[in-house]
Chain A
Amino acid sequence: QQPVQSPQAVILREGEDAVINCSSSKALYSVHWYRQKHGEAPVFLMILLKGGEQKGHEKISASFNEKKQQSSLYLTASQLSYSGTYFCGTEINAGYKGTARQLTFGSGTQLTVLP
């Protein structure tokens, strides 16, 4: 089952902050975040594993609450280059002992950053 993302779309001015949420009805082992520009392949941003860790990449960070099966992506002081569609991907198993990795994505959040 696909995770649920919110909001569906966000419009920001350069320098403003945004939060994108991702939730699942199933217990998660990991959460991935990707960004896709129009007509291009999705590009990896970060992975979070269960344990409640938070990761950051310059002004983009994310958290993972395994008890709630929720993850949030934080974009701080947004830049024009942040525009695109953001997808969260979730995995419900650890992908070892013969279990295949099943990476399922949400419907995406379209982020537009205006000058």
Chain B
Amino acid sequence: DGGITQSPKYLFRKEGQNVTLSCEQNLNHDAMYWYRQDPGQGLRLIYYSQIVNDFQKGDIAEGYSVSREKKESFPLTVTSAQKNPTAFYLCASSMSLVNTEAFFGQGTRLTVV
């Protein structure tokens, strides 16, 4: 079955540690996205990528980093520079054409203590 997989579902980290969230898709989609979801603030775009080895900052990129070494994978690293990292993180992917929908993973809930 084709889809987009995020792992782990729940993640706990100590303050000051970097943590990497995984996102893998087997839909052969070119575009991939990372969003952060906080109560009352909707989905805020962190980073997005259209092709391998290329990605752009979204609205809230500070404190985050990404890589796109393979078309199928778009991992997100939450660095110690992110002041409020506790949140629900969603990864999505879509085809290149703008008239196609985005597919979302099930999300990773990150808690930093």
> What is the interface of chain A, defined by CB distance below 8 A to chain B?
1-2, 5, 8, 29-30, 32, 34, 40-44, 47, 49, 87, 89, 91, 93-96, 98-108
B56: chain A residues at CB < 8 Å are 100, 102
Q: Nearest chain-A residue to B6 (Cβ)? A: A41
How far is it, in angstroms, between the C-alpha of A106 and the C-alpha of B43 when the chains are bound? Answer: 7
**Closest chain B residue, CB of each to CB of A85:** B42
Report how many A-B pairs have Cβ atoms within 8 Å.
84
**Are B42's CB and A47's CB within 8 A?**
no
Most buried by A among B41, B50, B97, B98: B98
A-B contact pairs, 15 of them (CB 8 A): A29-B98, A32-B101, A32-B102, A42-B90, A44-B103, A49-B98, A87-B42, A94-B98, A100-B48, A101-B94, A101-B96, A104-B59, A105-B35, A106-B42, A107-B41
Inter-chain contact B48/A1, CB cutoff 8 Å? no
CB pair A108 B98 closer than 8 Å: no
Contact B97 A96 (CB under 8 A): yes
Question: In the complex, what's the smallest C-beta–C-beta distance from B59 to chain A, in angstroms?
Answer: 7
Report the bound CA distance from A40 to B49 in whole Å: 23
Closest-CB distance, A112 to chain B (whole angstroms): 15
Q: Tell me if B64 is interfacial: C-beta within 8 Å of chain A.
A: no
Q: Are B99 and A30 closer than 8 Å at their CB atoms?
A: yes
**How far does the Cβ of A77 sit from chain B's closest Cβ, in whole Å?**
25
**Mostly helix, strand, loop or mixed at chain A's interface?**
loop
State whether the Cβ of B33 lies closer than 8 Å to any Cβ in chain A: yes
Measured CB to CB, the closest approach of chain B to A71, in angstroms, equals 15
A contact residues around B100 at 8 Å (CB)? 47
Contact B99 A105 (CB under 8 A): no
Q: 10 additional contacts, CB 8 Å, given A96-B96, A105-B35, A105-B42?
A: A41-B90, A41-B104, A42-B104, A93-B98, A100-B49, A100-B56, A101-B48, A102-B58, A105-B43, A105-B45
How many Å from the CB of B99 to the closest CB on chain A?
Answer: 6
**Closest Cβ–Cβ distance, residue B47 to chain A (whole Å):** 10
